[in-house]
Amino acid sequence: MSTYREDRRADRAAERAQDREDRRLELDAQREREAAKAEEKRKDADAKRRQEQADKKARQAEAAAKKAAAAARRARLIRWLKANPATLFVAFVMVASIVPAILSQIGALTGASVAAPMAGLLAAMLEGGAWAITFMGKQAEDAGREPRKYRIGTWAVATVAAAVNFWHGLEAYGEHPWVAFVLGASSLFAIYIWDLKTHGSHGKTKAEKQAEKERRAHVSARRKHHPQIVEQAVKLQAALPYGALDDEAAFAAAWRIHTGAEPGLSAQLYATATEAVLQLGAAFELGDNVREELLETGFKATRLNPFAELTQTPTTQAGIGSNAPEPPVDKPRETPARGRSAEELNELLPDALSAAAELVAEGKQISASGLAKKLQIRREDALKLRDRVIEQRRLHVA
pLDDT in tens, 33-58: 888 888 888 888 888 888 989 998 99
Domain match, 191 and 142 both: yes
Average pLDDT over residues 344-354: 81
Range of the domain at 351: 290-323+339-397
- Rg of the chain over Cα atoms, rounded to whole angstroms, equals 55
Domain match, 375 and 296 both: yes
What value, to the nearest 5°, has the Cα angle with vertex 268 and ends 262 and 270?
65
Q: Is residue 63 part of a domain?
A: yes
Domain match, 91 and 195 both: yes
Q: Is residue 3 part of a domain?
A: no
Single pTM value for the model: 0.42
The pLDDT of residue 319:
38
Q: Is residue 314 part of a domain?
A: yes
Domain match, 115 and 192 both: yes
Q: Is residue 278 part of a domain?
A: no
In this structure, of 133-142, 199-208, 292-301, the range with the lowest mean pLDDT score is 292-301
Render 338-395 in DSSP notation, one character per residue: SS--HHHHHHHHHHHHHHHHHHHHTT----HHHHHHHHT--HHHHHHHHHHHHHHHHH
For the chain, percent of residues with pLDDT exceeding 70: 81
326: pLDDT confidence band, cut at 50, 70 and 90?
Answer: very low
Asked whether 193 and 93 are in contact (CB, 8 A), the reply is yes
Q: Is residue 163 part of a domain?
A: yes
Average pLDDT over residues 340-363: 78
Name residue 303's amino acid.
R
Chain mean position to CA 263: 32
Q: Is residue 204 part of a domain?
A: no
**Spatial distance between the Cα atoms of 194 and 197, rounded to a whole number of angstroms:** 5
What's the number of domains the chain is made of?
Answer: 4
In this structure, of 137-146, 171-180, 338-347, 380-389, the range with the lowest mean pLDDT score is 338-347
Question: Has residue 331 got a pLDDT over 50?
Answer: no
Asked whether 185 and 100 are in contact (CB, 8 A), the reply is no
Domain match, 105 and 195 both: yes
Domain match, 102 and 187 both: yes
pLDDT digits (tens, 9 = 90+) for 190-249: 888 888 877 765 566 788 889 889 999 998 998 999 999 999 989 888 888 988 888 889
Give the distance between the most distant pair of CA atoms in the chain.
182
320: pLDDT confidence band, cut at 50, 70 and 90?
Answer: very low
Alpha helices in the chain (DSSP H): 2-83, 85-111, 116-142, 148-172, 178-199, 206-225, 227-239, 247-259, 267-289, 291-304, 342-361, 368-375, 379-397
Chain mean position to CA 346: 67
Domain match, 107 and 133 both: yes
Domain match, 373 and 308 both: yes
Domain match, 39 and 114 both: no
Domain match, 113 and 188 both: yes
pLDDT digits (tens, 9 = 90+) for 169-180: 888 887 888 888
Q: Is residue 361 part of a domain?
A: yes
Domain match, 140 and 103 both: yes
First-residue to last-residue Cα distance in the chain: 182
Domain match, 48 and 126 both: no
Q: Is residue 333 part of a domain?
A: no
The pLDDT of residue 227:
92
In 3D space, the residue among 104, 163, 155, 115 whose CA is nearest the CA of residue 133 turns out to be 155
pLDDT digits (tens, 9 = 90+) for 65-120: 988 888 888 888 888 777 777 777 888 888 888 888 888 888 888 888 888 888 88
395 vs 150, more confident: 150
